[in-house]
């Protein structure tokens, strides 16, 4: 005769091992990846703000309009380069984040 409790425990263990544990691990990776992504975006925003204020200080100290135009042109060029680099970094983080969440755990 089959013991229903033993059968239920085996089924639960099998379910946990097959579905629940990988789902739990994927959920943790999701939270961790989202947190890393958010922190990186905040770092970038802080850097951009710092650079903008530095340029504003230079403009305030400029002696004439030609210096202001040069400072503005330099800032726009540098910000454009920063934006491309930052977009690439965020894209790479998002791709890594997606791979980490959907990739199966390696057996040890």
Res 31: pLDDT: 74
pTM: 0.65
pLDDT digits (tens, 9 = 90+) for 47-81: 999 999 999 999 999 999 999 999 999 999 999 99
pLDDT digits (tens, 9 = 90+) for 89-100: 999 988 888 887
Helix (H) or strand (E) holding 2: none
Between CA 52 and CA 56 the distance in angstroms is 6
Residues of the chain with pLDDT > 70, as a percent, come to: 74
Dihedral (CA of 14, 16, 21, 24) sign: positive
């Amino acid at each position: 005769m089959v013991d229903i409790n033993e059968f239920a425990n085996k089924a639960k263990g099998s379910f946990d091992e097959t579905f629940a544990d990988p789902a739990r691990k994927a959920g943790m990776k999701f939270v961790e990846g989202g947190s890393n992504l958010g922190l990186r975006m905040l770092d970038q925003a802080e850097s951009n703000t710092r650079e903008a204020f530095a340029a504003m200080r230079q403009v305030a100290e400029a002696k004439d309009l030609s210096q202001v135009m040069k400072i503005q042109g330099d800032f726009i060029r540098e910000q454009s380069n920063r934006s491309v680099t930052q977009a690439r970094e965020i894209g790479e983080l998002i791709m890594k984040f997606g791979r980490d969440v959907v990739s199966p755990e390696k057996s040890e």
